[in-house]
Structures are given as structure tokens and as C-alpha cells.
């Protein structure tokens, strides 16, 4: 059923029942707002025609408007109104994210700055493993030099330890905070396209997918510069998004 309503003496609309109720809950219209629909002889106050919806409203993932629970369906980890159902299904088929619609995706350069902050933190932490190795090497027999297999083993251990530290750093913060310190400083957050929390597997996997993005001549990072939802390669692999203003 389509309704027209008056705002500052001007006719607006049409809107459907559910949207009119949402507008009433948001304060856009009130009980004294004049409304009209086909079949009515004259305009009447909204309060005389439509009772306010009982209970809290569900927010549609796509249009972000509130609807009574009975007028929504569960989809993509949330509630979707009837009008947005086809749009959400299409976005899901295309790998896009209804849960992030209405949010501002973080651009390429702000993500670069956040990564530089995180790299600084993890580099300092990596020195915790590297400095003891350098001290041991410095104290070894300078004439004979360090034993090559032992030296290579120490180097491999330092690399593995640094890598493990960086992976744990990334995964722990993504799981607990939804963002690494670099992203938190800049107001960014990593979200799953279809909602829900991060498990250890996905959080760690996203870090190694991030490394893959760099191995491909950094092409995986540059993808965020032209993608509709600012997705780098690791976002595509793990079905995640980075949003701003969180």
C-alpha cells in the first residue's frame, strides 16, 4: 500500500507501509503528519490511521532502514527487507558484501599507512629474536668463523620466529579487536563480508594471504586501488572488507 505524506506543506512519497512505519520510528514523520493513500477522501493525521509498530525494528543489511521482524527475512548473517532481497542475493552471487553496504570502504593509501605502522611494531618485536643470534655470532671464533650449518640453522630460526610473531600479532588483534593497532589508530576495521567473528584459522589465513598479495609483485595490494569495495587480493581470498569510521 502506497502512502503520500506532507512535509513543510509539500507532498512527498509514495512510500510503502513498512517504510512509513520506519520513518515514524525515526521521527521523520509523527502522529500529526498528514498522510493520504488511494481510496481516502481527504488527508488525515498519521496517528489516526496507523498504530506504531510493536517491539524493536530489524535493520535491513542493504538499505539500513528499520522494519518489523515479520517483514524481514534472515539472509547473509542478518535481516533483509522484502524490497532488498533480490539485490542482496545478487550481491552475494557477485561476492559483494551487503553487510558493509552503507559503510565507507578504506582506500588504498590509508591502508598503506596502517600497514607501515604495523610493520614498525612487528619489526621491533622481531629484533627480540634476532639480537640474541647476532650476539652469539659476534662471540664465536672470529678466525675459524661460525660453523655454516649451525649459522644457517640460526638464521632460519630467526626468520621463522619473526614470521610466527607477525602472524600471531595480526591474527590476535583481528580476532579480538577487529583491527590491528595500525588500523585502530586510523579508525579502520576488518569485517567479514557476511558478518560474524573471526576464528583463528581465518585470521591466520588472512595474514598469509596478505603475504601472497606482496609476492605477486605487490599486484595483490594494488587491487584495492581500483576495486569497487577496495578489496586487495587477500580480502578477495578471505572474503573480508576493510571499512573506515569504525
Contact indicator for 167, 207 with CB cutoff of 8 Å: yes
pLDDT digits (tens, 9 = 90+) for 114-138: 999 998 988 886 666 667 666 666 6
Assigned C-alpha cell, 229: 569495495
More confident residue, 74 or 23: 74
Fold classified for 2-96:
Dna Ligase; domain 1 (3.30.1490)
pLDDT at 130: 65
Phi, psi of 207 (to 5 degrees): -65, -45
Please report the DSSP string for 130-170 in residue order: HHHHHHHHHHS-TTT---HHHHHHHHHHHHHHHHHHHHHHH
pLDDT tens column, 147-161: 667 667 777 777 787
Confidence of residue 45 (pLDDT cuts 50, 70, 90): confident
Q: What is the DSSP letter of 106?
A: P
Quote the CA–CA distance of 185 and 103 in Å, as a whole number: 18
Q: Where are the domains of the chain?
A: 2-96, 104-244
Q: How confident is the model at residue 67 (pLDDT cuts 50, 70, 90)?
A: confident
Amino acid at each position: 500500500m502506497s502512502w503520500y505524506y506532507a512535509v513543510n506543506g509539500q507532498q512527498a512519497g509514495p512510500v510503502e507501509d513498512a517504510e512509513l512505519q520506519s520513518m515514524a520510528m525515526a521521527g521523520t514523520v509523527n502522529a500529526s503528519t498528514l498522510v493520504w493513500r488511494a481510496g481516502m477522501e481527504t488527508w488525515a493525521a498519521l496517528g489516526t490511521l496507523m498504530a506504531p509498530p510493536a517491539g524493536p525494528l530489524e535493520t535491513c543489511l542493504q538499505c539500513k532502514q528499520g522494519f518489523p521482524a515479520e517483514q524481514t527475512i534472515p539472509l547473509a548473517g542478518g535481516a533483509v527487507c522484502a524490497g532488498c532481497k533480490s539485490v542482496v542475493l545478487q550481491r552475494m552471487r557477485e561476492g559483494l558484501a551487503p553487510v558493509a553496504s552503507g559503510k565507507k570502504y578504506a582506500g588504498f593509501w590509508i591502508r598503506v599507512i596502517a600497514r607501515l605502522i604495523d610493520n614498525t611494531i612487528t619489526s621491533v618485536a622481531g629484533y627480540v629474536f634476532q639480537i640474541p643470534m647476532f650476539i652469539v655470532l659476534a662471540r664465536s671464533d672470529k678466525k675459524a668463523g661460525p660453523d655454516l650449518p649451525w649459522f644457517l640453522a640460526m638464521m632460519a630460526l630467526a626468520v621463522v620466529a619473526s614470521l610466527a610473531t607477525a602472524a600471531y600479532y595480526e591474527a590476535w588483534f583481528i580476532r579480538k579487536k577487529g583491527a590491528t593497532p595500525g588500523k585502530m589508530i586510523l579508525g579502520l576495521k576488518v569485517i567479514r563480508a557476511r558478518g560474524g567473528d573471526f576464528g583463528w584459522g581465518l585470521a591466520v589465513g588472512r595474514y598469509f594471504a596478505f603475504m601472497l598479495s606482496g609476492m605477486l609483485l605487490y599486484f595483490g595490494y594494488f587491487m584495492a586501488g581500483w576495486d569497487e569495495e577496495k578489496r586487495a587480493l587477500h580480502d578477495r581470498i578471505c572474503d573480508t572488507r576493510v571499512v573506515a569510521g569504525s
